[in-house]
Structure 1
């Protein structure tokens, strides 16, 4: 009797030519068996129990290595054809180590092994599936420097591909694709000009075609462990960039910042050629649409255009051109930069008769701007020949002006709170309540480029800035006997500068509670705010921005020795508020919506607290807020419908600093509306005939008309027996109307 064969456990490993990443099947040690989500395969370092094969999924083209079999024995791989049937697929012999290697290139279906040492058939069944694989680009053509997606579509979850393209070297591929998609050993096929990339769940591979020669490229992607391939073709840089200006004429003053909006299509980068021979100025600016929205907004700082930061004495942080959006960019080419035409920018400037870099700001004239897709800029005599020009515009610079200065009052708070939008709406005001803010508004142009670049819009840019010839001071108009006038420290706490470039107004906001002064501020003091522009010294022929030369001191847009000054004055007063029509006390009817009004010298926008509290009878306390208008008035409404006739009340108004006014009042009877007689209907008289006819006079119809009471504003009301909150300030006005008697008398006169 034959002995019963001993049941043995075989092991299987999946092997490929390229090892890239560990398997995702749960195995011991570092064995690398790949399941459905595996990206690469390697020969196992440890054995894998044969039982782990059950329901395993492998991809056609992978190699399977079965270990732990009897050495030198013959084994069959059988394909399952039915519930109780199978068919022979392939037979292989194990090597001297008991390892059996199988190719899956022709396999497709469910399989199991049969042979010595394997007694339980069909228990460990695995499947081999053909990998579907397609490739396409997200666009057929892409501009030079622009991005596109290589989309790889498969029925497989994740895997590694080797990507190549005729005409592109490994360094090109490395620059094109995102390093986040690189496989661990992405450069293993560098010699073959192939880059290894990981793909997962059909996520596209992002490609940016920077510094790639214009051409049509066919990209091939090969799955490294199954050898399936797919191709996709894209044209790079063959469709020229389409560049357009939003406005063809941009007008600005010397020294300010001009905004130029450019749309870019079919490319990521375009070029602005600013100036020509006639303007004796030439800059080439590279603009990049880093955000990918097809639009770049460029700020041209006319104060520093034409300056080269590499020149000795020029501040190194100066940027004449800046993109508004953070991901976009705008950078001026330097004299030594090469153009696509084959010469440098410096050579091009000399060739058309434009002198070197500027020492002084641009003059007031017209500067043409040409949008181009490349820097293929040549010269024909002293004229520019821009080969790839797309659109034209012009920058028109006018002379700056100092027009006016005035003081405005802003509500109490941090010096810069509210900003331009708030300060722009404030009316002119020559009286400032102590505790409010003083806002000095100066309408001036030609200063914003300097303030934004070298001072970031800070107030120090207009405080004793001799280097630029700008000076703002605030000091007492007349000092007291034997004492110097009080001066404001505008470069300290409690001050802020807000720039309104659109309207050419700068706002110096001063918090009178925090600003440093040489002595204490008091009511009745009059102050003068003075804004001055001072040119360079009379013996200096031309301003220079270079710090190595003394002639840089002064405002560059005035003649040497010139000066312009504007002054405004304002007076400090104590904070006050009052009730309207309250000289003999207030009266209020026992109704809802009683309007309380008054006046105050606080700045527009200030908030007042209005409080009323009955002082006799049942206690009724209410508190509301009121906002000061531009006319210095305020109004709110309180509900007295719960009060009784004859009750006394107290009304007060206050701000955060304390009570400003308090008045007494009394609840009086409500006015009863009186019906107003309707106008009588005119008498109709019949036309006489041969037989007289009596005239019929209809009886007049009366109708009662009541005077409506305005709708009450909401108020916070509390009824309590005890005392209410602390004293608050208020103003009151009683609504009532009934003039029907006089109107009736007037109608009687008319009938007579």
Structure 2
């Protein structure tokens, strides 16, 4: 149905078409200029959205024309008078929704459709607590339905709060000053200047505690050559000074610390390997915080170009730039380094291929083993301390004199030199776990560049390999030569299904067991296939003892169908393919991978012959076998004689016959 508003809009649009022939060019130019108005007035002739509270404006009307505002249903909302230049402005407070602005007594009438919406602003927090020693509060504008920046004011009815004005937009941040605010609760209002939008903020100001700085433990222990972690807790301050050492130990340095993330803590990393190496920043802080040696302090060190010695070093923390105000004390204990053990592990071929691996990336996938299938990772774990101050994320650490991990072939054969390479080889990666005084050398057994020329890679020949880790002088914290070693044996990949035996299965779910020397956690695809009949696949994971089980459902396979079971990967020299047949009368055979097997066999044979005599023969045998011990039970229904007629029954019958004969003779 055509409404009054629709009719009005049609008439006015027709009038616009006529007048546009003469005034179109000038009107268009004016529209573009008006669209850049930043005073809070929105020209609805060039935009169809006005935020509630902004002033709406339109032009092109006759002088003193009456212009009517209708809502989306065509109902009268309000009426305005154009000024001497044909302009109309009106407030949008209280309006929300779709509207049409038109005129009824103008010689040049325009109709505009527009929408009034409420501006939205979402801050990252609305309840804030600060102490009186904090200068301000940081806010983020997480979301707004208004593009660009806008002006807003943060104010309060409390006279102690100074109103503050900002210009920002979505994803921007701003800081509200809380200087001069005493302890108490404050209600702040964020009000957008040109709209009706407000956001309320509840601010709680508490009395600041006294300035303090404390160590989070009394003794910080580490081995000489490693990185000591020292944590300082800060109260009512973000800066402090930490002193390490004293004149009694001929070492004293001042560290300036600053808490930049406002968590009240600074975690200092003190690298004891580089303490006296010129130009190296051996003191750092975790995250965004800072910790720096104060070069202007003129610290004391009597040993040049050598790491600080093992022993106890006093720690004290003072107020920033006020060493006389000592706030807490502790001790840094640097013990002697050690070289403890080496061990061999294995990992699946695709499990350690990423960059920037963490210790957990290694420990989550390795299994302890001295046997590694070609293509898998041989992982050499070394437990030793005093190394990690010199380590970083690059294999170039291994070029440091006095530190070496060499991997060498044990038996190269006659008239041949053994293959040898070390951990500095580009093919080998080192993952450091300094928290546990451990590092891992990852050796991809099929991708080693023996000459370390970044050229072609080769597989390690099968056989035994030795990995030897050596620490000796001139490594800066080594006092003598120390070595640990481990061995591993490289084998060709192998997979065996059902111990290499063919199988007969029933029309039901069937498990096929297997064994492999591939690293535990390796995924294999096993398939059962009958040409032109079916293809069934399943993925299995090699277990901790190299065992796995593949399950197939043969319930939909016809009796007598022959098939093969094989791994999708080809493993030369392995029994990774066996044959099978579906037999509806097949008995269940169950084998487990935990060292116990149970076999039940039932055989029934019936033979019937009819002449002058009848013989029925039936044999039943039950056998149970358990690998942990063997128990055999045999139930025999007879030895070919009369069923149920044993020796005792025969004796009783003979006695009865004798008595009967004696009675008859009498």
Q: Place the TM-score, normalised by the shorter chain, in its bin.
A: 0.5 to 0.7
Alpha-carbon distance in 2 for matches of 1:49, 1:264: 68
Alignment of 1:135-214 (within 5 A): 139=130, 141-143=132-134, 147-148=136-137, 158=151, 198=166, 206=175
The question of whether the paired residues in 1 share the 8 Å contact of 2:136 and 2:176 is answered with yes
Structure 1 residue aligned with 2:368: 428
1:473 to 394, 406, 414: 406
What's 1:530 paired with? 468
Alignment partner for residue 484 of structure 2, among 563, 566, 579? 566
Contact map agreement 1:436 1:603 (CA 8 A) in 2:
yes
User: d(CA) in 2 for partners of 1:303 and 1:620?
Assistant: 65
Match of 1:588 in 2: 505
Match of 1:484 among 417, 437, 446: 417
Contact 2:209 2:235 in 1 (8 A): no
| Residue among 294, 302, 308 paired with 1:333 | 294
Q: Determine the structure 2 residue equivalent to 1:460.
A: 396
For the residues of structure 2 that align with 1:659 and 1:481, how far apart are their CA atoms?
Answer: 25
Alpha-carbon distance in 1 for matches of 2:361, 2:570 = 21
Answer yes or no: is the 8 Å Cα contact 2:536–2:552 preserved in 1: yes
Q: d(CA) in 2 for partners of 1:491 and 1:297?
A: 32
How far 1:207 sits from its partner (Å)?
6.3
- How far off its partner does 1:503 sit? 1.9
Unaligned runs of 5+ in 1: 1-20, 28-34, 39-47, 58-136, 152-156, 162-193, 218-224, 226-232, 309-313, 337-344, 379-386, 536-553, 674-706, 713-732
Q: CA contact under 8 A between 2:494 and 2:571: conserved in structure 1? A: no
Q: Confirm or deny that 1:666 pairs with 2:581.
A: yes
In 2, the alpha carbon distance for the partners of 1:149 and 1:422 equals 37
Q: Specify the alignment match of 2:198 in structure 1.
A: none
Please give the secondary structure, in 2, of the residue aligned with 1:461: helix
Determine which of 386, 389, 393 is the counterpart of 1:446.
386
Report Cα offsets for 1:474-520 as digits up to 9, x if no partner: 22223344433223364444321101112211111122232202595
**Counterparts of 2:227 and 2:439 in 1: how far apart (Å)?**
14
Equivalent pair of 1:489/1:517 in contact (CA under 8 Å): no
C-alpha displacement of 1:652: 0.8
Alignment of 1:637 onto 2:523: no
Per-residue deviation, residues 349-376 of structure 1 (Å, max 9, x unmatched): 5xxxx54685321222223333444231
**Gap change, CA 1:248 and 1:522, over 3 Å in 2:** closer
Q: CA RMSD in A?
A: 4.7
Q: Does the aligned pair in 2 maintain the 1:258–1:300 contact within 8 Å?
A: yes
Cα separation, 2, equivalents of 1:356 and 1:377: 23
Matches within 5 A, 1:610-629: 610-614=526-530, 619-629=533-543
Assess if the C-alpha contact under 8 Å between 2:521 and 2:541 holds in 1: yes
| Residues 288, 329 of structure 1: 8 Å contact kept | yes
Unaligned runs of 5+ in 2: 1-36, 44-51, 56-82, 93-127, 141-149, 155-161, 184-192, 194-202, 452-456, 603-620, 625-630, 636-666
- The answer for the alignment partner of 1:260 in structure 2 is 230
2:270 is aligned to 300
The reply to whether residue 398 of structure 1 matches residue 335 of structure 2 is yes
Distance 1:420 1:52, change over 3 A: same
Aligned partners of 1:357, 1:372: CA distance in 2, in Å? 26
Aligned length: 462
1:650-689 pair list within 5 angstroms: 650-655=564-569, 660=574, 661-669=576-584
Q: Render the CA deviation track for 1:47-66: whole Å, top value 9, x for unaligned.
A: x9787695579xxxxxxxxx
Q: Which residue of 2 aligns with 1:556?
A: 476
Partners of 2:555 and 2:534 in 1: CA distance:
10
User: 3-state DSSP class of the match of 2:390?
Assistant: helix
- Mapped to 2, the partners of 1:400 and 1:49 lie a distance apart of 93
Give the Cα separation in 1 of the matches to 2:406 and 2:633. Answer: 64
Q: 1:208 to 1:408 in 2, by over 3 A?
A: farther
Task: Find the residue that maps to 1:624 and give its secondary structure.
Answer: strand
Deviation at 1:650, TM superposition (A): 0.8
Q: Displacement of 1:663 after TM fit?
A: 0.9
Matches within 5 A, 1:228-243: 239-243=209-213
Pairwise CA distance, 1:449:
1.0
Deviation at 1:622? 1.1
Q: Which one of the candidate residues 390, 410, 414 is aligned to 2:347?
A: 410
How far apart are residue 416 of structure 1 and its match? 5.0
Q: Hey, what's the Cα distance between the residues in 2 that align with 1:505 and 1:433?
A: 24
2:281 pairs, out of 290, 315, 319, with 319
Cα distance in 2 for residues equivalent to 1:150 and 1:590 = 69
Deviation at 1:578, TM superposition (A): 0.6
Match status 1:281 vs 2:251: yes
Q: 1:216 to 1:580 in 2, by over 3 A?
A: same
Q: 1:475 to 1:292 in 2, by over 3 A?
A: same
Higher strand share: 2
